[in-house]
Chain A
Amino acid sequence: MLQLHHVDKVYFGGTVNENSLFRGFDLQVEKGSFVSIVGSNGSGKTSLLNLICGTLAPDAGRITLEGEDITRWPEYRRARRISRVFQDPALGSCQNLTVFENLSLAARRTQSYNLRRGVIERDRARFSELLASLDMGLEQRLDQVAGTLSGGQRQALALLMTTMNTPDLLILDEHTAALDPKSSQRIMALTDEIIKRHQLTTLMVTHNLRFALEYGDRLLMMHEGQLLRDDRGSQKEALVLDDLLEQFNQISIEYGN
């Protein structure tokens, strides 16, 4: 379970441009739930992810994961338990390393990067199988460098790398936004499959309202650092796109986005 207790975050504190984004922000995400977050630009959804992942430090408040206080943990330390897939597919893997090498690195995440062999031929069959399950033709590209993959393939690889060690929390940061519509659909379906298979606790920020409605069991709409909507279970299932779109447009127009 992930908990944010009374989190404050102020940008440009103490200057005329002071902009307080979060004031006493609370959020609780139960283990195994899949939460979609929507909101206009500047609503704080990416900042929220950054606070959770440790890219941003809160000014006050506490963040706990499975009861453990991680507020002061640096980003890399949290990454052992929190995995993140970025909007930019290039951020998820090393372009000059082969797919095999990238997967080998990811497979050792919970072990240590010591002087044992980095790439073991024995893993080939297992990785091939994992890649084949993505159905993106990646299993034939094990020995190619990741830089030669298409955006969709690279994002699928990133997804596999981040989930192969079953993280406590999966963060999806607009991870289909940079892809063409078809790849975007494919990656979203794949993501859902992986989340269900490993029963991953997931936070997904998306600009795609349809995805937010269709996937996950809880939907948050954010605006100026606050939760405008928080629909779960049957309440969420009853939501229809038009209502959501209307509310979304309203806040967007009001604030000139």
Chain B
Amino acid sequence: MEQFVRILIDIGEQGLIFSILALGLLISYRILNTPDLTVDGSFPLGAAVSAALLTRGANPWLALGASLLAGALAGLTTGLLNVKLRITALLSGIIVMTMLYSLNLGIAGTANVGLFNSRNLFNEAPAAWIPARLGSYRIRTMIVAALIVLVVKLLLDLYLATRSGLLLRATGDNQQVTVSLGRDPGLVTILGLTLANSLVSLAGGLLAQQQGFFEISMGTGQMVNGLASVIIGTALFGRIRRLRLTTVAIFGSLIFKALLTIAINLGLSANYMRLMQGLLFLIILVSSNLSDKEARHATASSR
């Protein structure tokens, strides 16, 4: 029972933080239809920026905001490479990701930065405002993470319902429509990638604050991570029309994290984590492709 609760908290804590990453990929992959590999660099970028600021005693909220801005710059760069220099989205992402590796090292100072003695969102306000009787430190961490995710999700929902958000969705769906509306689809793509990587970087910053350290390789596999979350969410809940896309992505992230946590608790060595992530992603991708095909078959034959 105790172990069960521990697993649940594991899933809750980090699954929630990773769901912000999933929201980023929701924008680039699902809405904008662009495979954006910047993610593997912009996620640790957020962590590096938060780490660098926290070790100098900065306000944790300020650090988080700086993480978000840094991610926006990374996304903006990928977008500019893609749109203005006409490099494919995939390559633009890889280029920026590669350059970010050095940049992240430079920002953080070293490949490993411990933040255990620094102020962060989980050891002072707002976590400290939550009465201790509500639960242990980890429960409070989960509550803080949940609140931040909720705010990000609601803001994103609001944005997607604006004219600008609608144009973003249109651009991912059919660029010709954007052109017909008299708008430059390239600019919309740049905006989308900027927004997506801001969220990814925010997630990275938040994770560094929660786990108490920055580590240079923490970005490896994060794109797969986020994509898998979005695709699981879409496969399981995508047909429920009342659920918003953002809700679907968050659920997907929690389920993906649950699968990984269960695998580890069944005795899988942490060394095989990435292998596991990749295989899980593969299974999800193939099965959602199959169910897509079935769905198309069903609608085609019902006509």
Contacts and interface: CB of A to CB of B under 8 A. Distances in A.
Given A96-B173, A97-B170, A74 B162 contact: no
Given A91-B174, A94-B173, A95-B173, A113 B179 contact: no
A175 interface: no
B163 A74 contact: no
A106 interface: yes
Given A75-B179, A108-B163, 20 more contacts: A74-B184, A79-B181, A86-B176, A94-B174, A95-B173, A96-B169, A96-B173, A97-B169, A101-B166, A101-B169, A102-B177, A105-B166, A106-B181, A108-B181, A111-B163, A113-B181, A115-B159, A115-B162, A117-B163, A118-B164
A83 B183 CA distance: 13
B90 interface: no
A62 to B, nearest CB: 21
A38 B155 CA distance: 52
A92 B162 contact: no
A76 B182 contact: yes
B295 interface: no
Contact of A118 (B165, B176, B182, B184): B165
Contact of A76 (B163, B164, B183): B183
Interface residues of B, number: 22
Interface in B149-165: 159, 161-165
Contacts of B205: none
A94 B177 contact: yes
B169 A80 contact: no
A109 interface: yes
15 contacts: A76-B183, A76-B185, A79-B179, A79-B181, A79-B182, A96-B173, A97-B170, A105-B177, A113-B163, A113-B166, A115-B163, A115-B164, A116-B163, A118-B162, A162-B180
B177 A92 contact: yes
A76 to B, nearest CB: 5
A64 to B, nearest CB: 18
Contacts of B162: 114-118
Contacts of B165: 118
What is the interface residue range for chain A against chain B? 35 or more
A119 B166 contact: yes
A17 interface: no
B66 interface: no
Nearest to A106: B181
Per DSSP, chain B at the interface is helix
B19 interface: no
B199 interface: no
Contacts of A116: 162-163
Interface of B: 159, 161-167, 169-170, 173-174, 176-185
A84 B184 contact: no
B167 A105 contact: yes
A165 to B, nearest CB: 9
A104 to B, nearest CB: 7
A97 B184 CA distance: 19
B174 A109 contact: no
Q: Which of A93, A114, A118 has most B Cβ within 10 Å? A: A118
Contacts of B164: 113-115, 118
Interface string A61-97: 0000000000000111101100110100011111111
Most buried by B among A84, A101, A105, A111: A105
A57 B144 CA distance: 55
Nearest to B174: A94
Contacts of A102: 177
Contacts of A75: 179
A157 B162 CA distance: 22
A112 interface: yes
Contacts of B185: 76
CB-based closest 3 A-B pairs: A80-B182, A118-B166, A94-B173
A86 B181 CA distance: 14
Contacts of A76: 178-179, 182-185
B298 to A, nearest CB: 13
B161 A119 contact: yes
Contact of B169 (A79, A94, A117, A161): A94
Contacts of B178: 76
Contacts of B163: 105, 108, 111-118
A84 to B, nearest CB: 7
A197 to B, nearest CB: 20
B187 to A, nearest CB: 9
A79 to B, nearest CB: 5
A66 B173 CA distance: 33
Contacts of A80: 182
Interface in A14-63: none
A43 to B, nearest CB: 24
A74 B163 CA distance: 23
Interface string A109-134: 10111111111000000000000000
B5 to A, nearest CB: 41
Contacts of B179: 75-76, 79
